[in-house]
Amino acid sequence: KRLLMLNGPNLNLLGKRENEVYGEFTLQDIENEITKLVEDYGYRLDSKQSNHEGELVDILQAADGEYDGVIFNPAAYTHTSVALHDVIKAISLPVIEVHISNIHSREEFRHKSLLASVCYGQIIGFGKQGYRLAALALLPEQK
């Protein structure tokens, strides 16, 4: 009973990056919150972050069979990465795509996700609550 929370490029800068878009909280704050939430359900959370597309591919390949689901904010690679599309399709884990900001109300180049069609679901625009909603979607209905 394990969930993986995976964050892509620049999300290590949360708290000091475009605060008006992404809020004041840090990645550590999110990790702490989601760890507590999943532990309440008897699950464990592993949290990983990488700025490198290939490393994200490696992590997802290795996650297959090891986890019950993935909470994934692919950040900028959402809009560009065929490699991430392919790996999400190749593995049998439910992956939930999370975006802190509402990508549809921002620049045109953020409107398209190359990953949404291979993800289990998508949660967009609810700030750090999105990670919590994604976790709830992967956890059983009853504690």
Chain residues in the site for ligand DQA (CB under 6 A): 10, 73, 75-76, 78, 99-101, 103, 110
Has 44 been labeled as part of a binding site? no
41 is catalytic: no
C-alpha 47/C-alpha 8 separation (Å) is 11
Active-site residue, selected from the candidate residues 22, 67, 77, 131:
22
**Alpha-carbon torsion (48, 51, 55, 56), positive or negative:** positive
Q: With respect to ligand DQA, which residue has the nearer C-beta, 7 or 142?
A: 7
Has 103 been labeled as part of a binding site? no
Tell me how far, at minimum, the Cβ of 60 lies from ligand DQA, in Å.
Answer: 16
52 is catalytic: no
Q: With respect to ligand DQA, which residue has the nearer C-beta, 99 or 143?
A: 99
SS3 category, 92: coil
Active-site residue, selected from the candidate residues 67, 85, 99, 131:
99
SS3 category, 102: coil
Which residues, at least 6 apart from 36, have a Cβ–Cβ distance to it below 8 Å?
none
Written as one letter, the residue type at 94 is P
Q: With respect to ligand DQA, which residue has the nearer C-beta, 57 or 98?
A: 98
Ramachandran region, residue 112 (left: φ > 0; alpha: ψ -120 to 50; beta: rest): beta
Has 86 been labeled as part of a binding site? yes
Q: Which residues are catalytic?
A: 22, 99
